[in-house]
Structure 1
Amino acid sequence: MASIKPPLTGIRVLELAGLAPGPFAGLLLADYGASVLRIDRPSAVSMDSLTRRKTSISLDLRDRQSREIFLRLLTNTDVLIDPFRPGVLERLGLSPTEVLLKHNPRLIVARMTGFRRDGKYKDMAGHDINYIAVSGVLSMLGRAGDKPYAPGNILGDFAGGGAMCFLGILLALMARTSTGQGQVVEANMVDGSAYLATFPRLATRTGAWDQPRGENLLDSGCPYYDTYETKDRGQYFAVGALEPQFYAALLRGLDLDADKLPAREDRSNWPVLRDIFTQRFKAKTRAEWEAVFDGTDACATPVLTHAELEAAGYEQRPAVHLSRTPSHPIKAEEGGWTGGGLEPGEGGVETLRSWMGWEAGRHFQVRDDGALILMDRAKL
């Protein structure tokens, strides 16, 4: 059974079980001290690994007694994370504006969708690759002359989705301090991903990002902003020597004479420079290049894998450090690298006792499928 950590911020969060963006928003809240209770479906088998510091109960939101527990929890909750497609809560009789906010006017309902809630895609299923495709961002990713490629599901699900939803929740919490009122936060991965691409989108108007995919300064088109394979096949070095002084340090490390190289300012010289850098990096192993570039301003670093970092005991830390706000650092043994696992129902009884003062067998009972149902309403 997972242990309950006292919420440092006093924020209580109900997270309706989902995958990727919703749980990531809940993870960010949990890592910074919120008490996060995940609501699982009856007889659910969870595939979620974004579970550290969370607890769980199972509720059948189609059942009146189970739904009553949910609504009573909401009266003592700050944030509800809704990861469902548009209309799911409404069909359950849990409309955010007509039902949930009336139960708790201070509640923040964070709704996380893939596509926008309006427009031609609103009723369609999709995944990260589809959301970043219609946002315009996917068209920017890939080598010159090659098809666009999706960078895992990092950009849509987590950056444009979960992190943006987390931002919306924080903004709503800030607003509540002055208004006293909660609100509905609507986040979607299309707008979130497009917003993250603000710089390259604006740069197309200045000439800084106006070439086809893979031919610009920062999208693998530039030879001094790219990755190179080293002598030990399958190992790579990353180069980001944009400024002249950093470029000079790169050339020194590569033992290249700047006067004998074509001018880097002329884009027509980029293919020649890339060939030179490619051959030079293959002359040494990654470890040998580390010995050359460590401690220099060449902006040249090894491309490390998660497995290497974990094996080296590299500590994953919180995304930001708050100097005057107490927080627990993320430790590897708490799931920083290996992920977590939260079984439906795990730790939830303790959370109900902490939040509501409820006890199993007195205030609620557990059905055979794991769902909690109300016992004697008068005792609540």
Structure 2
Amino acid sequence: MPPEHRGPLAGVRVVELESLAPGPFGAMILADLGADVVRVDRPGGPGSGRLAAPATALQRGRRVVAVDLKSPTGVADVLRLVDRADVLVEGYRPGVAERLGLGPDICRARNPRLVYARITGWGQDGPLAARAGHDIDYLAVAGALEPLRRDGEAPRAPLNMLADFAGGGMLLAVGVLAALLERERSGQGQVVDAAMVDGSALLTTFLHGMIAAGRWPAPPGGNLLDGGAPFYDTYVTADGGFMAVGALEPAFYAALLDGLGLAGDTLPAQYDPAGWPELRRRFAERFAQRTRDEWAAVFEGRDACVAPVLAPGQAAQHPHNLARGTFVQVGGEVQPAPAPRFDRTSAGPPRPAPEPARDAVSVSDILTGWS
């Protein structure tokens, strides 16, 4: 019997063809929201022989079947799943699914209501479509990497969070949800082309608005939100920790000065860039006098938009995150909890990732539960 699924996507059936991080993240979101996601692995397990995320992270909440997609029998088995699925997720380079016999034309001819969701770095067409790439490359071409620097310094890669996950897997999930909603009106599925370069560009929409309005005039690292403003930056504390300061509005800035003990001092005006070096020096001097946790206590009761910079392993123990259950135990490991939250259709905690050698089920078992 299939596992019980709750959440706003309960009853939605998803076939996920094994791929690297962005595709699994998008499918994880669907599973977190209650969809019944069946991952089709190659024999040997996910990402066998390649760079892959640990099975206990992005692979949670699924069931898994092992299928050799290079054999006619394996392709036929996947098409049987497609016949009863609502969504198929694939993250191959353009043309690979078609060569396997699992392209959108074949799948949607069998199941016209299927939402066929494709995630790639460069998209299904364009001069770079067939080119290899990673998060940093998509950010670079989208214009999202160059602003992540200070004048005279090289851009810093923001891990692989922006293109792979925010501009990739999250965009895929949004596309799937929109296509499912539209299907309720039309009765027809469609192809979702989620490209990480498109998603990365989309994330810069606010920045483009600032540039168009003339509110991003300085070189990188010299503007309001890129570390140029001393009241929107990070500062080193006495113990080598950091505090994040985002006191943009005058009221929050006044609370920042009060917490730092600078409220009565003669200082440059907040929004006068000529005075920013002096403000930064004064702020840095004060933050260096106490530890991170001491400053966190100082600002705990102040609306100053100041927060301690926590390492990933520390975030789960922050009182706010504990109170909200922002992190959960999944299979004995601490992981971020599903989001967003729903007052009527909570999906509950995610199930641990399946171990292919132990937890794999057959295609026939899946189809029996989907009948």
Change (3 A) 1:225 1:271: same
CA–CA separation in structure 1 for the residues paired with 2:2 and 2:81:
20
3-state SS of 2:157 partner = coil
How high is the TM-score relative to the length of structure 2? 0.88
Q: CA deviation at 1:119?
A: 2.4
3-state SS of 2:119 partner = strand
> Per-residue displacement from partner, 1:63-111 (whole Å, max 9, x unpaired)?
11121111111111010001111010111122212x1101111111100
Q: Percent identity?
A: 47
Report what 1:369 is aligned to: none
Structure 2, unpaired ranges of 5+: 328-336
CA–CA separation in structure 2 for the residues paired with 1:346 and 1:105:
34
CA contact (8 A) 2:135 2:164 kept: yes
Match of residue 344, structure 2, among 319, 324, 329: 324
Q: CA deviation at 1:257?
A: 3.5
Q: Which stretch shows the higher mean deviation, 317-326 or 130-139? A: 317-326
CA–CA separation in structure 1 for the residues paired with 2:33 and 2:218:
41
Change (3 A) 1:346 1:96: farther
Change (3 A) 1:297 1:103: same
Match of residue 80, structure 1, among 60, 84, 88: 88
CA–CA separation in structure 2 for the residues paired with 1:218 and 1:269:
16
What do you get for the CA RMSD once the two structures are aligned?
A: 2.1
- The answer to whether 1:245 aligns with 2:251 is yes
Change (3 A) 1:329 1:58: closer
CA–CA separation in structure 2 for the residues paired with 1:4 and 1:209:
51
- 1:318 maps to amino acid: P
Q: Which has the larger radius of gyration?
A: 1
Q: 1:9-88, aligned counterparts within 5 Å?
A: 9-44=10-45, 46=47, 47-48=52-53, 49-88=57-96
> Per-residue displacement from partner, 1:267-325 (whole Å, max 9, x unpaired)?
01111111111111000111111121102111111111121134568432332111222
3-state SS of 1:274 partner = helix
3-state SS of 1:139 partner = coil
3-state SS of 1:207 partner = coil
Q: 1:196-275, aligned counterparts within 5 Å?
A: 196-233=203-240, 235-275=241-281
Q: Which stretch shows the higher mean deviation, 281-290 or 138-147? A: 138-147
Change (3 A) 1:179 1:249: same
- The answer to whether 1:292 aligns with 2:304 is no
- 2:184 maps to amino acid: T
Q: CA deviation at 1:43?
A: 2.4
Structure 1, unpaired ranges of 5+: 335-339, 359-379
CA contact (8 A) 1:55 1:346 kept: no
3-state SS of 1:264 partner = coil
CA contact (8 A) 1:241 1:250 kept: yes
Match of residue 196, structure 2, among 176, 186, 189: 189
CA–CA separation in structure 1 for the residues paired with 2:79 and 2:6:
21
3-state SS of 1:75 partner = helix
Report what 2:330 is aligned to: none
CA–CA separation in structure 2 for the residues paired with 1:311 and 1:299:
20
> Per-residue displacement from partner, 1:121-153 (whole Å, max 9, x unpaired)?
112100000011101100111123211111000
Report what 1:4 is aligned to: 3
- 2:365 maps to amino acid: R
- 1:124 maps to amino acid: R
CA–CA separation in structure 2 for the residues paired with 1:209 and 1:351:
55
Aligned length: 348
3-state SS of 1:284 partner = coil
Change (3 A) 1:118 1:258: farther
> Per-residue displacement from partner, 1:212-262 (whole Å, max 9, x unpaired)?
2111101111100000010002x1101111111111111011001455111
How high is the TM-score relative to the length of structure 1? 0.86
3-state SS of 2:193 partner = strand
CA–CA separation in structure 2 for the residues paired with 1:252 and 1:350:
64
Change (3 A) 1:165 1:306: same
Report what 1:376 is aligned to: none
Report what 2:112 is aligned to: 105
Report what 2:333 is aligned to: none
